[in-house]
């Protein structure tokens, strides 16, 4: 839907001699757990029902710091 692209255009790129191949110089990547949706799914093993919960692995934008360049 372009929301992530809109967010990334507002973030200042990290200045490195070479652009990071992982994040493209933005210092953030989409969360690998929720894929940037900010939600994770919990499965109840007793009832086989699913519940959407806020992802605890990323920030409020569905992003995580890039492990390759933001150390």
Return the H-helix or E-strand segment holding 43. strand 39-44
- Summarised one tens digit per residue, pLDDT across range 6-48 is 777 777 665 656 788 888 888 899 998 888 888 876 666 677 7
What's this model's pTM, rounded to 2 decimal places?
A: 0.57
- DSSP state, 71? -
Boundaries of domain holding 49: 3-65
What sections of 1-71 are H helices per DSSP?
A: 3-9
User: Is residue 70, in this structure, part of any structural domain at all?
Assistant: no
Backbone phi, psi, residue 36, to 5°: 85, 0
Our count of domains for the chain comes to 1
User: Is residue 57, in this structure, part of any structural domain at all?
Assistant: yes
User: Is residue 20, in this structure, part of any structural domain at all?
Assistant: yes
User: Is residue 71, in this structure, part of any structural domain at all?
Assistant: no
User: Is residue 24, in this structure, part of any structural domain at all?
Assistant: yes
CA distance 53 to 62: 13
């Amino acid at each position: 839907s372009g929301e992530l692209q809109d967010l990334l255009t507002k973030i200042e790129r990290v200045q490195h001699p070479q652009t990071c191949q992982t994040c493209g110089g933005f210092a953030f990547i989409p969360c690998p757990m929720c894929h940037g949706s900010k939600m994770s799914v919990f499965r109840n093993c007793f009832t086989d029902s699913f519940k959407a919960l806020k992802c605890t692995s990323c920030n409020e934008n569905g992003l995580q710091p890039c492990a390759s360049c933001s150390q």
